[in-house]
Amino acid sequence: MVLNISSLLAGEKNRLDIDYMLSVASDELGNAVNLAGVRFPTPARVLGQITDNAGYMRLTLSVTLPYSTVCARCARDVEGDFEISFERTVVPEGMVEDAEEKEEDFVVVKNGMLDIDEQLVEVLLLDFPTRVLCKEDCKGLCQKCGKDLNEGPCDCPTGEINPAFAKLLQMFDDEEKNK
């Protein structure tokens, strides 16, 4: 979304409220955003404000992004809301010379207009968790039979020998038998 903040720049207002929906399902070119099986079924809700305090402008946003994916341990469907806070200092074009510094700490006003979507989507995607669990103590799946261990234990033996030491164990067992 491109915001017209000329009333803040002219000193007519000292606060501008923001409330809009931001599509994260595709980038600016219409390409699908892919985060390892994560889907974004509805747009993100962006709420916040731009405040002007004696010429110092600050953008403060709260973003809620609904998502749908599968648990990284048990493969159950997981739906939830990812929430972040986004804060930047608002500066007129030409005030910040270093391009890297401009992107990290500031949002730049060009001709009274402020476009924050690109930075906001980038922060959302970078901060999104790399692994999503259905619950914090998810036990996952049995590595042998594939049973969901959240539903209870399986019948697979738990005391398994590392194959690298199987011959050594057999050697000790043979010695015990020969005594």
- 85: domain range? 2-127
Does some domain include residue 138?
no
102 and 172 co-located in one domain: no
Residue 75 in domain: yes
- Residues in the chain, how many? 179
- Supply the pTM of this predicted model: 0.72
pLDDT digits (tens, 9 = 90+) for 32-66: 456 778 888 889 999 999 998 887 889 999 999 99
Specify the number of domains making up the chain: 2
Same domain? For 113 and 170 the reply is no
Do 122 and 157 reside in the same domain of the chain?
no
CA 87-31-29 angle, to 5 degrees, is 70
Tokens read off for 137: 């103590």
The answer to whether residues 15 and 57 belong to one domain is yes
136 within some domain: no
The pLDDT assigned to 31 comes to 43
In terms of pLDDT, which residue wins out, 39 or 83? Answer: 83
- CB contact set of 68 (below 8 Å; sequence gap of 6+): 38, 39, 40, 41, 77, 78, 79
- Residues 163, 105, single domain; the answer is no
Domain match, 96 and 173 both = no
CA 113 remoteness from chain centre: 27
CA dist 101 and 165 (Å) reads 55
Statement to judge: residues 81 and 167 lie in one domain: no
Residues 112 and 48 reside in one and the same domain: yes
**pLDDT, position 34:** 60
Mean pLDDT of the chain: 83
Residue 35 maps to a domain: yes
Whether residue 161 is found in the same domain as residue 114: no
Instruction: Convert the pLDDT of each residue in 20-32 to its tens digit.
Output: 999 886 544 444 4
Determine, yes or no, domain membership for 98: yes
Same structural domain, 47 and 8: yes
- In terms of domains, do 101 and 55 share one? yes
Residue 134 predicted with pLDDT over 90: yes
Nearest to 124 by CA among 41, 31, 23, 8: 23
